[in-house]
Amino acid sequence: MPPHEMNTADFLKKITLNNRRLVIILSQTLLIPISYFFAFLLRFDFYIDQQLVIEPFLKTVPFLIAARLILFYYVDLFSGWWRYVSIEDITKIANAIVLSSLLFIACVVFLFGLERFPRSVFVIDALLLFFLLGGIRVATRMLRETMEKKKAKGVAKNVLIVGAGNTGITVVNEIKSNPDLNLKPVGFVDDDPQKRGYKIKNLKVLGSREDIPELVKRYRVDEVLIAIPSAPYKELHAIFSQCEKVGVPHKTLPGISKIITGKTFISQMRDVKPDELLGRPSVSFTNERSTLSQELTGKCVLVTGAGGSIGSELCRQIAEYAPSCLIMYERNEGNLFYIDFEMRKKFPHLNIVSVIGDILNGEKFDLLLTTYHPYIVYHAAAYKHVPLMERDPIEAVRNNFIGTKTISTCCVHREIPKFVFISTDKAVNPSSVMGTTKRMTEKLLQTYGQTPTKFISVRFGNVIGSSGSVIPLFKKQIAEGGPVTVTHPEATRFLMTIPEAVHLVLLAGAMGEGGEIFLLDMGEPANIAELAKSLIELSGLTPHKDIAIEYIGLREGEKLHEELYWEGEDILPTAHKKIRKLSKTSFNYMNYKLLIARLERAMEKPIGNEETIFNLIKSMVPEATISFANYCAHARAGNQP
C-alpha cells in the first residue's frame, strides 16, 4: 500500500515493525533514567532537593545508562519478541540488572565516593527497573492475547487435557498464546494421585482416566487432547475407550522430541503395504503381456466369487486386457455392489455383467453359460476359513466340492474352452476339511480329461491381505491396542501378494493344456511370529512394549508348516522360471467317479449320514488326516450349527 493511502495507525504500525529492534533499545534506554529518578523520589518521600536529589542524579545517570546498556547488550535484552515473554526472559532481565548495578556502584565508588550518596537508591532502582522491564513485556503479551481473542470467531471449544506433565503444560501454553485455535482448556486428567486436586497453569487436575466420561459431561467437553507421548499404545487405547464411551473426539499429541525425530506413531501410524511383509522380492511379471493379451483380449470371461479378495483382483487385472465381456458372478450382494461400482468407474467402456448367484445353482449357471458362452471361467468362489470349516464340514463339502462339480459339469455340457480352479497349499496332505475339499476338487477336475473343456488348477499359499488372512486380523488387533494373537512361535506359511496370486492364475490359464496343477515358487516359508513383529514395527510401534504378542496354540485343522507338494509328486518346469507344475497324478478315475456319486447321494440328506460322508471323503483323499471324532466333539461342544 503506498504511504499516501495509509491511515496514521497503519503507518505507525509499519514503522514500528520495520524498526522493531530500534524501538526496543530506545524504550529500554528511556526506562533506565526514569527508574533511577523515581528511586531518588521514593528514598526522600518525593521531596525534590537540589543537593540530595538533582545533583547526585545528574552526575551519575550517564554512567548508569552506559553500564545498563552494556550489560543489556551482553545478556541479549535487545532482541526477542515481547509477546512471547517467558521465565527465561525474566531471568535474563534479573541478571542484566544485577550485573549492571554492580558495575554502576563500582563507578560511583571510584569516581565520586559514597559519603553523600544515598546507598538505598541502588536497591530501589534495581527493583523498580526489574518490574518496569518485566512489566512492559508482560503487558505487551497480555495486550496481544486480548486483541487476538477479540478477533477469534465462534464459541471456543472446551478441551480436556489428559496428562499433566511437560507435554500437557506445553499444550496449555500453546492454547493460551494462540487464540486462533479457539480452544478453552477446562482442566487436566492424570493418573498420578499426588497431582489430584492441584492446579497447574491455573488449571485443576480433575481426576484420572476413568473419570473422563463423567468429566466430559460435567464440563461439556468438546474434545480430549491426550498429551502423554511416553505411554505405551495399550494404555493410550484404554484412554481412547473412555473417550468413545461418551462419543467425544480425541487427539493424541506426540512429544516434541518425537516430532523432531519423526518417531510419532499414534496420529501418524501408517498403513503397511503387503509386499513389505513378504520376506522376499515380489515376483515380476513383465514379459507376459502379449501372452495374456492373446488369452483375454476380445474374449468373454467369467469370474466366480468376483467380490472376494482373489476374485475382485482377477476382475481388475482381466479388465486391463480389454475382454469383450466380463461376467462377475457373486452371491454376496454387498461385495458384488462394490466391485461393480469400482469396475464401471475404472473401465467405463467395458461390457460388465454383474450377476448375483450361487455356484450350487446349476440351472442359473447353465443359463448364464448358454447366454454368454464365455471363453474361460476363473473359479475363485469357495469357503476358505479353516477353523470355521472344521466346525461345519458338511457345508465345506457342499460349497467347495459339490458347488465346483455343479459348475464344472455345466462348463463341460456347454463346451466352455477353459476352466481355471484356484486351489491351495492346504490340499497337500490335508489336515483340515477345507484343504481336503480342495484336494477332492483337484482330483475331480483331472477326471475330465476327455472333455472339450480344459481344466487347470492353480495351487498357492497364503495370500497377504486377503479377507480372512492373518494380516487384516493383525492390523485390527494392533489398532485395538493388542494383543496380537499367533498360533505358535514356530508356525510358518508360504506367502504371496494378491497381485502375484492373480497373475499366476491368469498365466496358468494361458499356459495350461488341461489336467495340470500349477504352483508358484514362493521361496522359503515365513515365520508367522516374526511376521507379526514386523507388522507391529512397520506400523511404528514396539513389540511386547506397545503391543503384546500372545501364543494361542494351533487351531483345529491347522498345520505347523504348510507344503506346496508332497513326496511322490514330480515337479516340472514351465516357460516361466517362477511357475512350476506337478506331473499328472495317476489314480483310478472310474472308482473316484463312483465315490463322487455315493457322496452326492449322501449329501442329499446329510443329517444322520455324517459318518458315511466322512468315510467317503477319506476314501477319496486317503492322505487326509481329518477325523470324524473331531467333528463329533465339535457337535457336542455346541459348535455344529
Catalytic residues: 426
Burial of 291 (0-12, 13-18, 19+ CB in 10 A): middle
Give 561's DSSP letter.
B
Burial of 140 (0-12, 13-18, 19+ CB in 10 A): middle
Question: How far is it, in rounded angstroms, from Cα 524 to Cα 113?
Answer: 93
Beta-carbon neighbour count of residue 14 at 10 Å?
13
Residue 187, sorted as left (phi over 0), alpha (psi -120 to 50) or beta, turns out to be left
Residues 501, 460 contacting (CB under 8 angstroms) = yes
Residues 302, 329 contacting (CB under 8 angstroms) = yes
Question: How far is it, in rounded angstroms, from Cα 43 to Cα 498?
Answer: 88
Burial of 545 (0-12, 13-18, 19+ CB in 10 A): exposed
The three-state secondary structure class of 159 is: strand
Question: How far is it, in rounded angstroms, from Cα 617 to Cα 609?
Answer: 12
Burial of 223 (0-12, 13-18, 19+ CB in 10 A): middle
| Residue 195 in grid coordinates | 497431582
Question: How far is it, in rounded angstroms, from Cα 266 to Cα 586?
Answer: 56
Question: How far is it, in rounded angstroms, from Cα 365 to Cα 386?
Answer: 27
Sort strands 223-226 and 157-162 into parallel, antiparallel or unpaired: parallel
Question: How far is it, in rounded angstroms, from Cα 233 to Cα 161?
Answer: 17
Cis link prior to 489 (omega < 30° from 0)?
Answer: no
| Residue 446 in grid coordinates | 483331472
For residue 66, which amino acid is it?
Answer: A
Residues 264, 254 contacting (CB under 8 angstroms) = yes
| Residue 399 in grid coordinates | 460349497
Q: List residues bridging with 353 in a β-sheet.
A: 327
For residue 240, the number of C-alpha atoms closer than 13 Å in the C-beta half-sphere is 15
Instruction: Give the rounded distance of the alpha carbon of 587 from its chain centre.
Output: 50
Burial of 568 (0-12, 13-18, 19+ CB in 10 A): exposed
